[in-house]
Structure 1
């Protein structure tokens, strides 16, 4: 039976994606902020949204759709700056929120909101497309599964690693932020959250430049 991927590439590929995932980036910064200020459940909802966004980019790359983004610089830049503006919107939303509005938001609604924000933030992250377009072909070998099968198999490995790393960030940050949960809506905390998200937006703009 033909294996879907060359077994000799699995460890190098795993090492590459682990290194990428533990390198600080926008997802890591945003997840830490959410988990510090709103707790573990909120952070895990955000992880679910991020995972779906990455999975959609991975499937698009496997079918060759993300190459369109890479071949059209204007489209890449449009997605890139939309992502930056979305993070700035999150910063503004964090700054204007109040204790009253927080109490009025039921927990299920908050989880759905964070899920959507994680999803949208990653769909507007062209670096995810670049990752799959550049990384996957280097680990695909003739004589094994079809290119589509190899891309989906390797991409699934990356998705699994991202879930583990992102969940670890959430669990660590939520433990560290226990005392913050009771004062997250104070003016000082809102300002710190907003400024931190502005920093993440600037970081994203820098990291996604071509």
Structure 2
């Protein structure tokens, strides 16, 4: 494994992580409605989910996972159901006039389920990793480095999204706006659930 081969992994990984999709849409809605804490847990779920698929690809488990399409479908629908639950909770949540926030569920499960239920992630890793590395010759240390690098890159990209939305939340996160923000966020999360369901 050389610096050149690492770049063959880094560049497509960052581009793919930065492309907006249902996970990013859900994260944006989560930040707007619930603030930094839940968004961090959502991003953590996303990163761990991607790391699991990365590990599976490195150790040759991806091809086995792809044979069990029913498992992907089950995880996907669990993610859709959880997103719809979050959307309903946001839509109906009373806003506390004291701080402009409502008690809402955390986002770790949603982030994890969205990532694990997306077979495109494992297909993507299965396409780029063999081009960048000789998977049959990787040592345990090499594999650990790739997973750590992937997790760090994913965290950095999603953190950029997070910081941008937090700035917007400072404007719209006042108590007078929170009911509207919650309902817009609920609609966005519901829309992301429908996008995931159609895949």
CA distance in 1: counterparts of 2:75 and 2:37, whole angstroms: 29
Aligned counterpart, 1:160? 152
2:134 to 135, 141, 162: 141
Judged with a 3 Å threshold, the aligned counterparts in structure 2 of structure 1 residues 180 and 134 are, in CA distance, closer, same or farther, namely same
TM-score, normalised with respect to structure 2: 0.80
Question: How far apart are residue 22 of structure 1 and its match?
Answer: 1.2
Distance 1:174 1:198 in 2: 21
Name 1:66's counterpart in structure 2: 62
Match of residue 31 from structure 2: 35
What TM-score, normalized by structure 1, do the two folds share? Answer: 0.77
Query: Is 1:91 matched with 2:91?
Result: no
Query: Structure 1: which 5+ residue stretches go unaligned?
Result: none
How many Å apart are 1:185 and its aligned residue? Answer: 4.3
- Find out whether 1:130 has 2:126 as its counterpart: no
Task: Kindly indicate whether residue 35 of structure 2 is the aligned counterpart of residue 14 of structure 1.
Answer: no
Match of residue 49 from structure 1: 45
Deviation (angstroms), 1:177: 1.4
The 1-side partners of 2:6 and 2:150 are apart by: 11
Please tell me whether residue 78 in structure 1 is matched to residue 96 in structure 2.
Answer: no
2:165 matches 1:169:
no
Post-superposition Cα deviations, 1:64-86, rounded to whole Å, max 9, x if no partner, equal 33322212333333333332233
For the aligned residues, what is the CA RMSD? Answer: 2.9
Quote how far apart the aligned CAs of 1:169 are: 0.7
Unaligned ranges ≥5, structure 2: none
The number of aligned residues is: 196
Q: Which stretch of the first structure deviates more once superposed, 34-43 or 162-171? A: 34-43
Deviation at residue 51 of structure 1 after TM alignment: 2.0
**C-alpha deviation, 1:58, in angstroms:** 2.4
Q: Aligned-pair distance for 1:164?
A: 0.4
